Chains A and B, each alone.
Chain A
Amino acid sequence: EIVLTQSPATLSLSPGERATLSCRASQSVSSYLAWYQQKPGQAPRLLIYDASNRATGIPARFSGSGSGTDFTLTISSLEPEDFAVYYCQQRSNWPPPWTFGQGTKVEIK
């Protein structure tokens, strides 16, 4: 089973700053990786799929990169609404089909 490790656990930044979140897979997942945003009391929202493609309606300040085992979610300039928890997720043709990282909380400094 593939394990996803996210770092850091918490990122303390100010609005307008750049956020860089990391997700590392225990073995190659090719480009089959997504990123989600979750705010308190809400369901996760898909931001990025297949490592670098923005989902419908996602602002251009969100970008994803990487392949193989190392992936990055970048928020170019943090808006107040971006302070949330972010999860990476890999998809596989073998069970389990979905695996999530443990999350990175982006909090206001």
Chain B
Amino acid sequence: EVQLVESGGGLVKPGGSLRLSCAASGFTFSSYSMNWVRQAPGKGLEWVSSISSSSSYIYYADSVKGRFTISRDNAKNSLYLQMNSLRAEDTAVYYCARDLDYGDYWGQGTLVTVSS
């Protein structure tokens, strides 16, 4: 059974940092691109970042470029999102999603709240 489990969310002050993790199981993690998608409270879905299976291709939304870094460890079946210089508008539930051109599997999400 495919499972994606996010962790690392929490309350952080503006300008602070957080590192999100996504633990994958039930499939060959190293064969798939992965994505982070976020959803602000009461709002729609916003794609944040993508990483290819071997980390050769990495993309970011303009809203997070220069502040967020996506990475993965295929040996540990894990995906990461390092978030620096956090802003109030980064407050959202962050989902990791497997990329089969579309998001065929999603984690349950982890809430990031940026507030003083």
Contact = CB atoms under 8 A, between A and B. Distances in A.
Interface string B73-104: 00000000000000000000001000101111
Interface of A: 32, 34, 36, 38, 42-46, 49-50, 55, 87, 89, 91, 95-103
Contact of A44 (B45, B46, B59): B45
A44 B4 CA distance: 13
Given A97-B47, A99-B47, A103-B44, A43 B95 contact: yes
Contact of A87 (B44, B99, B101): B44
13 contacts: A36-B45, A43-B106, A45-B106, A49-B102, A50-B101, A87-B45, A89-B45, A89-B103, A91-B102, A96-B47, A100-B46, A101-B44, A103-B44
B106 to A, nearest CB: 4
Interface residues of B, number: 19
The interface residues of chain B, by DSSP majority, are classed as strand
B47 A43 contact: no
A46 B107 CA distance: 13
B61 A55 contact: no
Contacts, number: 56
B53 interface: no
Contacts of B59: 95-97
B101 A91 contact: yes
Given A36-B45, A96-B59, 15 more contacts: A34-B102, A34-B103, A36-B103, A43-B108, A49-B101, A50-B101, A87-B45, A89-B45, A95-B59, A96-B47, A97-B35, A98-B47, A98-B50, A99-B47, A100-B46
